[in-house]
Structure 1
Amino acid sequence: MRVVFSLLLPVLLAEVWLVTSLNFSSHSPEAQAELESQDLQNQTWEENTWTVPSDEEEEEYWLRTSLQQLSNETSNFGFSLLRKISMRHDGNVIFSPFGLSVAMVSLMLGAKGETKVQVENGLHLQALSQAGPLILPSLFKRLRETLSSNQDLDLTLGSLAFIHKDFDIKETYFNLSKEYFDIEYVPTNFRNSSQAKGLVNHYINKETRGKIPKLFDEINPETKLILVDYILFKGKWLTPFDPIFTEADTFHLDKYKAVKVPMMYREGNFASTFDNKFRCHILKLPYQGNATMLVVLMEKTGDHLALEDYLTTDLVETWLQNMKTRKMEVFFPKFKLDQRYEMHKLLQQMGIRKVFSSSADLSELSAVARNLQVSKVLQQSVLEVDERGTEAVAGTLSEIVAYSMPPVIKVDRPFHFMIYEEMSRVLLFLGRVVNPTVL
């Protein structure tokens, strides 16, 4: 099985496209003996049920705390993945922890035994999954519904499945994938790879409103199934930067090198804090719809990579609790990132190995699953940040003492950013900008 996870996020002030595609093809039958011996934890969806507390208040409390735990662990998974990426290169980074988690959990519906357990552990979701085999799909469904229902957030999520015309997919997997991920199935003849490529690209181009016209350059004719998840986040600053104040300014790459970048400027009320231990500024740049870009700027140029070893949900929560809103001047660079990662290599380093091997157990997906494995998980992300947004929200600014000078945060050196939804705290995107002038 070949998995292609293509995540494309144009973020116009954070317009984000996430496309995840998992592409399945055959592996050799030699692994049959090993697969048949894997009885441990080989639970089927039909054999297990998930029961929730009967009392409505207890159920609501349980759901709220479970969603918070899901959000926290997805964020910690993202921070762990960032550290793995940093071991390979120290340049610009952009990816979606939420998007990758959704893709892998939808795949888990078809997995059993050690294959499924490794995915749960790698995603940091093993504790939550103990409540029942469908708990994770149920929680992700609830979270997706909550995000999609926020009209001001302007977040669009969807799933497509391109299935080979004679591929024997299990009815249970088919029904569960539609119920929990609302997957739309499209019959496809992968034997005619050229025609299949055109069909898949056409659908994705249509669903992403022309943002991704050509996701696939080629498709393996042995492909049986391609799962595609996409997310569009068209974030608009709650208060936009005025382009009239954008000017070329210096961005320090390190102690010795610098580049010129278009630097945006705005004076207004901003929430921020300073971490004395790590010597960094943390700044909130809010979007409409209760989403936020959190910017983390080290006090000294060149210290940004050292911070990554300590990034956790608890640390970010501490920053948010210590935020104070005051009148400030903020200088923030315009930038665009375009990054592509072979996530399967990183996931294997995090312990998710079996699903990528000939001994993968995907027997909940298909009766012929002994011939299936995942070969690739690719993620491509594009992030663009500029001045655009709706008109500033009218409101009364807090009074400033006469003659006092507002504090200044100038983002003119490498920084990290997180884009998350405020209510759920779900980490939609995570990255760093080392050089705003390169993709």
Structure 2
Amino acid sequence: MNLVADLLCLLACLTAVTCDRVYVHPFNLFSFNKSTCEELESLVQEGKETFVPVSIESKTTAAYEDDLNVKDKLEAPSLSVPGRQKLSYLKHFVYILGARFYSVLREARQGQNVLLSPTSLYGSLVSFYLGASNQTAADLQRLLGFVPPSGEPDCTSRVDGHKVLSSLRMIESLIKSMDEELLFSKMLCLFSAPGVPLYQLFVQDLLPSTDALYVRAVDFTNPSEAAKQINAFMEAKSKGQTKCLLTDIDPSAELLFAVDVRLTVNIEQASRLKEPQEFWVDSNMKVLVPMLSVTGTFKYKADASGTFSVVEVPISKTTLLVLLQPINGSDLAQVESELPLQSSAWLQQLSPREIRLRLPELTIEGSSDLQELLADMKLPALLGKGADLSKISNISLTVGKVINKAFLKLTGDGTDQPEDTTEQKENVVFLDVTLNKPFLLAVLEEKSRAMLFLGRVTNPLHGV
């Protein structure tokens, strides 16, 4: 697997379709420029101040934990041309890495529901990139998809992680800015071993990337007690929404990183069918599940191979739901094995159709450890014990788990609808699309088409 070659090909394709008169290499949209490079040395000196996090058992709020919900009120963002360019390029890097992580989870959790957030996982890696130096920083930059066009190892060949996090946050701002039918939240927690100093600048750099940030000290040498404390802390801070984040902890760890991303959407104009409907988990097993019905002009395609179809549905003012289901007797395992997920072609070239769609009402969540995903991708050392994370702490850190939890809930408007009373337009034939067997789903931000969630539903009743 030649990731560098794949990314260079992707950049070439992106360049070919760019219609701007002035050519700007995508790398240069995110890299340090010469004037910024001249300021870096002074910034390094300013970043030497450290603090020791308070204990997770402390009842007082630490001074370094700012309430972002007060100072980060998100208004309708206006994107400049460079801003749109950044999102256009970044969404491809997010998708490629998210698809790779999904492929790993798909193999590890065969027959199970899977859910991950490509933007969240990507953001976690960018966070560690901000804390990395030397070869670790170079390796992380390469994994994130940023290959310098010149290859010269100077300051301008490095990506500014702040710009990347800012673009990721813009995607989240676009999601939340105009939509009352949608609830989106993101919480980030850093847990360090007692007495471990962290650089203030590193923590401050993470503040704009999340709705809430908590940094606390935990004694990892008693793993069961540490897991219990962390689970209780995150449940309390999420007001009961985040439960059972951890089951085990490496007692030698000195830093644990956890992100919880949650999205709840009341699908526009979707109603619940009066009676539960059959959903075939496999050819021998079916369950009865609550189903939603929504009718309208949606984008659709049936693959040329005749093994799957794709429908794209606006589920709010700012988000799109893409659903892929097997057809003509094929099953999801077959489709997944043949679908080149590394390419986003399955999300493209859909055409408008009048569709009557029925899909399960969903509450699904997934949790993944970035350390395990990297190990499965043959990159165990990237954040391993030899990693240079000298911008996080002035001591050599051993990173434990890097947890990314994703939660997605799709509901209707709360009204019941009989199965056969959908109003039909005059002289219009509706295509009936019913998701009553395992399927893939993706949630995209509408303007940038960046992928927020990617998952597989094998049984809608096993969501949480």
TM range, smaller chain: 0.7 to 0.9
Counterparts in 2 of 1:337-376, with a 5 A limit? 337-350=364-377, 352-369=379-396, 372-376=397-401
Counterparts in 2 of 1:7-406, with a 5 A limit? 46-47=40-41, 60-91=80-111, 92-126=113-147, 130=157, 132-134=159-161, 135-152=163-180, 153-164=182-193, 166-178=195-207, 184-188=213-217, 190=219, 200-217=230-247, 223-244=253-274, 246-251=275-280, 253-254=282-283, 257-262=284-289, 264-266=291-293, 268-279=295-306, 280-308=308-336, 309-312=339-342, 314-319=344-349, 322-326=350-354, 328-350=355-377, 352-369=379-396, 372-388=397-413, 400-402=425-427, 405-406=429-430
Letter aligned with residue 205 of structure 2: L
How far does the alpha carbon of each residue in 1:306-360 deviate from its partner, in whole angstroms, 9 at most, with x for none?
44432356414523xx33142x332323455454444423223435332343321
Q: Distance in 2 between matches of 1:434 and 1:241?
A: 22
Measure how far apart 1:111 and its partner are. Answer: 1.0
Measure how far apart 1:423 and its partner are. Answer: 1.4
Question: Match of 2:438?
Answer: 414
* Residues 415, 434 of structure 1: 8 Å contact kept: yes
Classify 1:79/1:197 alpha carbon distance in 2 versus 1 (closer, same or farther; 3 Å): closer
Measure how far apart 1:109 and its partner are. Answer: 1.3
Q: Distance in 2 between matches of 1:338 and 1:143?
A: 21
Question: Match of 2:50?
Answer: none
How far does the alpha carbon of each residue in 1:340-391 deviate from its partner, in whole angstroms, 9 at most, with x for none?
444423223435332343321111111112xx23343344545454545589
Give unpaired runs (5+ residues) of structure 1.
1-42, 50-58
Q: Distance in 1 between matches of 2:326 and 2:90?
A: 29
How far does the alpha carbon of each residue in 1:282-305 deviate from its partner, in whole angstroms, 9 at most, with x for none?
223332242122111122333433
Classify 1:94/1:378 alpha carbon distance in 2 versus 1 (closer, same or farther; 3 Å): same
Letter aligned with residue 417 of structure 1: L
Classify 1:197/1:46 alpha carbon distance in 2 versus 1 (closer, same or farther; 3 Å): farther
Letter aligned with residue 331 of structure 1: R
Q: Alignment partner of 1:377: what SS?
A: strand
* Residues 273, 290 of structure 2: 8 Å contact kept: no
* Residues 45, 133 of structure 1: 8 Å contact kept: no
Q: Distance in 1 between matches of 2:183 and 2:82?
A: 28
**Equivalent pairs: percent with the same residue?**
18
- So what's the TM-score if we normalise by structure 2? 0.69
Question: Match of 2:66?
Answer: none
Q: Distance in 2 between matches of 1:178 and 1:77?
A: 23
Measure how far apart 1:66 and its partner are. Answer: 1.1
Q: Distance in 2 between matches of 1:189 and 1:267?
A: 48
Classify 1:339/1:150 alpha carbon distance in 2 versus 1 (closer, same or farther; 3 Å): same
Give unpaired runs (5+ residues) of structure 2.
1-36, 44-78, 150-155
Q: Alignment partner of 1:311: what SS?
A: coil
Letter aligned with residue 299 of structure 1: I
Q: Distance in 1 between matches of 2:276 and 2:200?
A: 58
Q: Distance in 2 between matches of 1:203 and 1:126?
A: 39
Classify 1:233/1:213 alpha carbon distance in 2 versus 1 (closer, same or farther; 3 Å): same
Q: Alignment partner of 1:90: what SS?
A: coil
Classify 1:115/1:44 alpha carbon distance in 2 versus 1 (closer, same or farther; 3 Å): farther
Classify 1:131/1:118 alpha carbon distance in 2 versus 1 (closer, same or farther; 3 Å): closer
Classify 1:216/1:358 alpha carbon distance in 2 versus 1 (closer, same or farther; 3 Å): closer
What CA RMSD, in Å, does the superposition of the two structures yield over aligned residues? 3.7
Q: Distance in 2 between matches of 1:424 and 1:132?
A: 21
Q: Distance in 1 between matches of 2:299 and 2:117?
A: 24
Q: Distance in 2 between matches of 1:314 and 1:189?
A: 41
Q: Distance in 1 between matches of 2:408 and 2:82?
A: 35
Classify 1:145/1:45 alpha carbon distance in 2 versus 1 (closer, same or farther; 3 Å): farther
Q: Distance in 2 between matches of 1:117 and 1:137?
A: 17
- So what's the TM-score if we normalise by structure 1? 0.72
Greater relative contact order (Cα < 8 A, sep 6+): 1
Q: Distance in 1 between matches of 2:39 and 2:126?
A: 14
Give the number of equivalent residue pairs: 375
How far does the alpha carbon of each residue in 1:24-73 deviate from its partner, in whole angstroms, 9 at most, with x for none?
xxxxxxxxxxxxxxxxxxx9993499xxxxxxxxx932221111211122
Q: Distance in 2 between matches of 1:401 and 1:225?
A: 62
